[in-house]
Amino acid sequence: MPRISAATVADHRANQHAALLEAAREILAAEGVHGLTPAAVGARIGLARSSVYRYFSSTADILAQLVEDAFPRWSARLRAAIAPAGPDASLPARIRAYGRAALDFVGSPDYALIPALQAIGLPGECRVRVDELHGELIAPLADALREAGADHPALRAELAWGVVRAGARRLMPDAAAHDPEPSADADPDDIIEITLDVLTRALR
């Protein structure tokens, strides 16, 4: 039995679980989904594979738990970003704040969970849960549009998310390789500003 390194067994398990999730994030970022296995995650923190199975039943379960950990954190950040605050609480200013936070998310290692989940396939109930969590990321924008009296706020927010994803793809390190019209002057700040401009105009 591993040596207890916390005040209680429950605290020890919570610490182990957090360490395993962090190890899984690092493996996913460095090696992709094909390098992510319970054995690899355990080895990264010196835990036997048999012990890892107390926390994860499979690679799909690791990914599902990473989503459950990451998406609520980002949802809270997006909701805080779009909340009315300061002297300029206009809807365009709030949309820009949301868009900037959303670009941070789509460009983060956490968002790599989405293609990873698609790559390995998930049971139906897991796919439903992932869709629910993804909806929670878009909900703050839909709520702000609803408050402003926009028609079809959920649809508008869903379509706006596509603008964010397109901008984020241009910010990726290998974006130039897939750009049909590469532009030498499109530096990251330009891409961010153009994306936020298109996002704001689309939601007028």
108: left (phi over 0), alpha (psi -120 to 50) or beta: beta
Token reading at 16 = 């182990």
Find, among 14, 8, 10, 17, the residue nearest to 47 by Cα.
17
DSSP code of 34?
A: G
Domains for the chain: give ranges and CATH numbers.
1-56 (1.10.10), 60-202 (1.10.357.10)
pTM confidence score: 0.78
pLDDT digits (tens, 9 = 90+) for 48-82: 989 999 999 888 889 888 988 888 899 999 999 99
Q: How many CB atoms lie within 10 A of CB 61?
A: 15
pLDDT digits (tens, 9 = 90+) for 138-158: 999 999 999 999 999 999 999
Which range (1-5, 32-36, 141-145, 163-167) has the least confidence? 1-5
187 vs 95: CA distance, rounded Å: 22
Strand runs (DSSP E) across the chain, as ranges? none
